Chains A and B, each alone.
Chain A
Amino acid sequence: MAVPDFYNEMYRGSGEVRPHYAEYAQWLAATPPERIAQKRAEADILFHRVGITFAVYGEEDGKERLIPFDVIPRIIPAAEWRQLADGLRQRVKALNAFLHDIYHEQEIIHAGHIPPEQIFRNAQYRPEMQGVDVPGGIYALIAGIDVVRAGAGEFYVLEDNLRVPSGVSYMLEDRRMMMRLFPELFARYAVEPVDHYPDLLLNTLRAVAPVGVADPTVALLTPGQYNSAYFEHSFLAQQMGIELVEGPDLFVQDEGVFMRTTRGPKRVDVIYRRVDDDFLDPLVFRQDSYLGVPGLLSVYRAGRVTLANAIGTGVADDKSIYPYVPEMIRFYLGEEPLVNNVPTYMLRDKEDLEYTLAHLPELVVKETHGSGGYGMLVGPASTRQQIEEFRARILAHPDKYIAQPTLALSACPTFVEAGIAPRHIDLRPFVLSGKEVNMVPGGLCRVALREGSLVVNSSQGGGTKDTWVLER
């Protein structure tokens, strides 16, 4: 395997502990291994009892699998976080400006920065949204930006998630778990709190209510209890004190959306929907959808209900649009990007395709519409046969793929069977855009538990860690 050297979050190359981990390393050395083993077992029992589980598609037995939780936190110094957070806020502002532009004047296309076919032939572009004004001009109210560290420790954005990003409940539960298991660590470290995320989210959602609604009713729309992220949907609804609704709970009448309650119909003003565009309204999108609400789109277009996120945000987080984000930042904000993009080869481009085909064993190839770690090739970790099979798939539809150099993701010490060993990690901070752009300091840290693996997705056996952003 030719994965290059990686950045270790806890140790310098010389083996010396980085300053922000010094206190933790001391604590770890002084704590009997049995106590930690006991705490790890306790965490397992607690997560099981609370039922914090995750469904993995296509796994018969995995209907409710536990996501492995690792007790060694990822620690981020205050200054590093500030820089990263500024970069992510900048990025999400540009992405929202882009979405507004695409569904209105399309200046970025006229200016020649993005070829029109990249937008209009994209399955995620929704012509139904052309000319529709959404409150505040904000499309992606909730964005989850996947960030990794590579090389000498610089941050890269790997992916923008602007449709229905998930994982925030694990960020919150991981913190609760750490505070419950190891309260003494929080006396040693001033860790920025994340608990107020549901409050921020509710404020964000209330801020985008339709014009004239003073006290908006907000509901969370879930595909239902068999969805892989159902735990999160019900958790967030409970934390915000709003109703958790399914498609059949809602109906459209008199140009409004209502929920069916034990006291009769009740008007809904803002829907935090965790259902994909395609399933939202069987009259417009997929007719076989039972998850949506017939007539929802017409009410939405009339501005009588707000959807968060807006319909059609997928056109901005698609992997084929990703390479243009730095250009968006310059075009809409007149600023230089504060966080890097990963260099990306677009395989619809002949030169890029040729380069990629010649270098498959070194590259990561992804489907432009894929997500969740499905349908990707990690060159250095693949057999010759896997590479050849993927080559055939690329040649059949080059425009469906992009390629990137294999990043040496940073690693963080993690409990594994043999003890503690470095495992590769990423980070998904959540950016909320309402009246202003807000973040809680931290995010969901995912860890690839298999040695050498670079795929952190929970659907691929990844685990999670608590992320500590330090106050100073």
Chain B
Amino acid sequence: MLSRTADHLYWMARYTERAENVARMLDVTYRVSLLPNNSEHPEMGWRAALSITGLEDAFAARFDRVTAAELLRFMVLDPSNPSSIFSCVRAARENAHAVRGTLTSEMWETLNSTWLEMRTRRLSDLLGAEINEFFEWVKYRSHLSRGVTVGTMLKDESFHFIRLGTFLERADNTARILDVKYDVLLPGTEDAGGAADYYEWGALLRSVSAFEIYRKVYRDMITPLRVAELLILRTDMPRSLHRCMKEVYTILTQVGNDQSKETERRAGELHAALHFARIEDIVASGLHDWLTNFLGRTADLGNRIAADFLVPIAN
């Protein structure tokens, strides 16, 4: 298929996934901010949410201090913030528009109606009681577009590049969510069991739709180590790093071309590392460092995928 087409499909999927994960991240932050023990440092959680996105500087240039209202203004509907939910939905739709002939009409209609509805949203309405409902809506639209993709698209290269975008973006986003929560909320803590911890870890699990999964898998109280294990190493957990890298590696073997061998090898290497890792070792080596390294490697894969497949090769 055309490199440019693959590029649009891949980014369409990445932006759709990103919109969903920004909503998830804001949702969990909002929920945690409502917890009673949070009143001492109300801005802590929002500051953490901002650092996930790496947009502290862009935010500081526009706003004096981090408050819930300003962060939501910045991250939800701000068209000048490229990572706001608004911008992600717009970018997903623009990428889809550029290759709409490649999409099934159901897919195009799904992305287009999401965008049309997004344009009617007003922040003043959302800042009231509707913000949770809005986050739910974003997640729902993302589920819908993935479902329509799986349910209607021919399982050819187009499909593979869409899925590649989805899983690479998800790996990145899950790692960021985990990093900030682990690093900021519970620096170096190994004990658990307090009510506050319970709610904070519970909120984190819910943000990646993993609360019920945790219960099912561990049938025990929530500890940071198990949360980390679930979100990093469990291959049956659909948003875990291991799961995402397994998908990325498999797709790369399916779409491979003459120049993509090294990319495939690096993805395989990262997948193998997750496959054979023990959570105790990762935590002992420093989770933050480990996650930073992981984010570096997924960024490297993103660059290599662009060079191998997506950006027109010089002739």
- What residues of chain A have their CB less than 8 Å away from a CB belonging to chain B? 48-51, 224-225, 234-235, 237-238, 243-246, 248-249, 251, 253, 258-265
Q: Is A249 touching B4 in the complex (CB atoms < 8 A)?
A: yes
Interface 9-mer from B54-62, B189-197, B207-215, B307-315: B307-315
Q: Mark B1-18, 1 if CB is under 8 A from A, else 0.
A: 111111000000000000
Q: Is A246 touching B4 in the complex (CB atoms < 8 A)?
A: yes
Q: Is B313 touching A260 in the complex (CB atoms < 8 A)?
A: yes
Shortest Cβ gap from A95 to chain B (Å): 30
Q: Which residues of B contact A224 (CB under 8 A)?
A: 98
Q: Is B112 touching A238 in the complex (CB atoms < 8 A)?
A: no
Q: Is B315 touching A253 in the complex (CB atoms < 8 A)?
A: yes
Chain B residues 277 to 315 lying within 8 A of chain A, measured CB to CB, are: 309-310, 312-313, 315
Q: Is A49 touching B112 in the complex (CB atoms < 8 A)?
A: yes
Q: Is B255 touching A251 in the complex (CB atoms < 8 A)?
A: no
- Alpha-carbon distance between A260 and B109 when the two chains are bound, in angstroms: 28
- Alpha-carbon distance between A262 and B1 when the two chains are bound, in angstroms: 6
Shortest Cβ gap from A240 to chain B (Å): 10
Q: By DSSP majority rule, is chain B's interface helix, strand, loop, or mixed?
A: helix
- Alpha-carbon distance between A20 and B94 when the two chains are bound, in angstroms: 45
Q: Is A262 touching B101 in the complex (CB atoms < 8 A)?
A: no
Shortest Cβ gap from B36 to chain A (Å): 45
Query: B266 at the A/B interface (Cβ < 8 Å)?
Result: no
Q: Is A261 touching B1 in the complex (CB atoms < 8 A)?
A: yes
Q: Which residues of A contact B312 (CB under 8 A)?
A: 248-249, 260
22 contacts between A and B (CB under 8 A): A49-B109, A50-B109, A51-B109, A225-B94, A225-B97, A234-B101, A235-B101, A238-B102, A243-B2, A244-B99, A248-B312, A249-B2, A249-B312, A251-B315, A258-B315, A259-B2, A260-B3, A260-B312, A262-B255, A263-B1, A264-B258, A265-B315
Which of B2, B6, B97, B315 is packed against the most chain A CB atoms within 10 Å? B2
- Alpha-carbon distance between A248 and B258 when the two chains are bound, in angstroms: 22
- Alpha-carbon distance between A262 and B5 when the two chains are bound, in angstroms: 9
B257 partner, pick from A234, A249, A251, A263, beta carbons under 8 A:
A263
Q: Is B2 touching A245 in the complex (CB atoms < 8 A)?
A: yes
Which of B100, B108, B161 is packed against the most chain A CB atoms within 10 Å? B100
Known pairs A50-B105, A234-B100. 11 more at Cβ < 8 A?
A49-B109, A50-B108, A51-B100, A51-B112, A225-B94, A234-B99, A238-B100, A243-B5, A249-B4, A259-B2, A262-B310
Query: B157 at the A/B interface (Cβ < 8 Å)?
Result: yes
- Alpha-carbon distance between A263 and B112 when the two chains are bound, in angstroms: 30
Query: B116 at the A/B interface (Cβ < 8 Å)?
Result: yes
- What residues of chain B have their CB less than 8 Å away from a CB belonging to chain A? 1-6, 94, 97-102, 105, 108-109, 112-113, 116, 157, 161, 255, 257-258, 309-310, 312-313, 315
The chain B residue sitting closest to A251, CB to CB, is B315
Q: Which residues of B contact A51 (CB under 8 A)?
A: 97, 100, 108-109, 112
Shortest Cβ gap from A180 to chain B (Å): 13
The answer to whether residues A264 and B315 also contact, given A51-B112, A249-B3 and a CB cut-off of 8 A, is no
Shortest Cβ gap from A258 to chain B (Å): 8
Q: Is A262 touching B161 in the complex (CB atoms < 8 A)?
A: yes
Which of A48, A245, A260 is packed against the most chain B CB atoms within 10 Å? A260
Q: Which residues of B contact A244 (CB under 8 A)?
A: 2, 5, 99, 101-102
Which of A51, A234, A237, A243 is packed against the most chain B CB atoms within 10 Å? A51
Q: Which residues of B contact A263 (CB under 8 A)?
A: 1, 257
Q: Which residues of A contact B5 (CB under 8 A)?
A: 243-244
A225 partner, pick from B6, B98, B112, beta carbons under 8 A:
B98
Q: Which residues of A contact B100 (CB under 8 A)?
A: 51, 234, 238
Q: Which residues of B contact A245 (CB under 8 A)?
A: 2, 4
Shortest Cβ gap from A106 to chain B (Å): 39
The chain A residue sitting closest to B100, CB to CB, is A234
The chain B residue sitting closest to A220, CB to CB, is B101
- Alpha-carbon distance between A263 and B257 when the two chains are bound, in angstroms: 6
Q: Is B4 touching A248 in the complex (CB atoms < 8 A)?
A: yes
Q: Which residues of B contact A234 (CB under 8 A)?
A: 99-101
The answer to whether residues A262 and B3 also contact, given A50-B105, A253-B315 and a CB cut-off of 8 A, is yes
- Alpha-carbon distance between A263 and B6 when the two chains are bound, in angstroms: 11
The chain B residue sitting closest to A238, CB to CB, is B101
The chain A residue sitting closest to B315, CB to CB, is A251
Q: Is B257 touching A262 in the complex (CB atoms < 8 A)?
A: yes
- Alpha-carbon distance between A142 and B2 when the two chains are bound, in angstroms: 25
Q: Is B315 touching A262 in the complex (CB atoms < 8 A)?
A: no
Which of B4, B98, B255, B258 is packed against the most chain A CB atoms within 10 Å? B4
Shortest Cβ gap from B230 to chain A (Å): 35
Q: Is A262 touching B157 in the complex (CB atoms < 8 A)?
A: yes
Q: Is A49 touching B113 in the complex (CB atoms < 8 A)?
A: yes
Q: Is A261 touching B3 in the complex (CB atoms < 8 A)?
A: yes
The chain B residue sitting closest to A46, CB to CB, is B109
Q: Which residues of A contact B4 (CB under 8 A)?
A: 245-246, 248-249, 260
* A-B pairs, 7 with minimum CB distance: A238-B101, A234-B101, A260-B312, A262-B309, A260-B3, A237-B101, A225-B98
Q: Is B109 touching A261 in the complex (CB atoms < 8 A)?
A: no
The chain A residue sitting closest to B257, CB to CB, is A263
- Alpha-carbon distance between A264 and B314 when the two chains are bound, in angstroms: 11
- Alpha-carbon distance between A243 and B97 when the two chains are bound, in angstroms: 15
The answer to whether residues A260 and B258 also contact, given A50-B105, A238-B102 and a CB cut-off of 8 A, is no
Q: Which residues of B contact A262 (CB under 8 A)?
A: 1-3, 6, 157, 161, 255, 257, 309-310
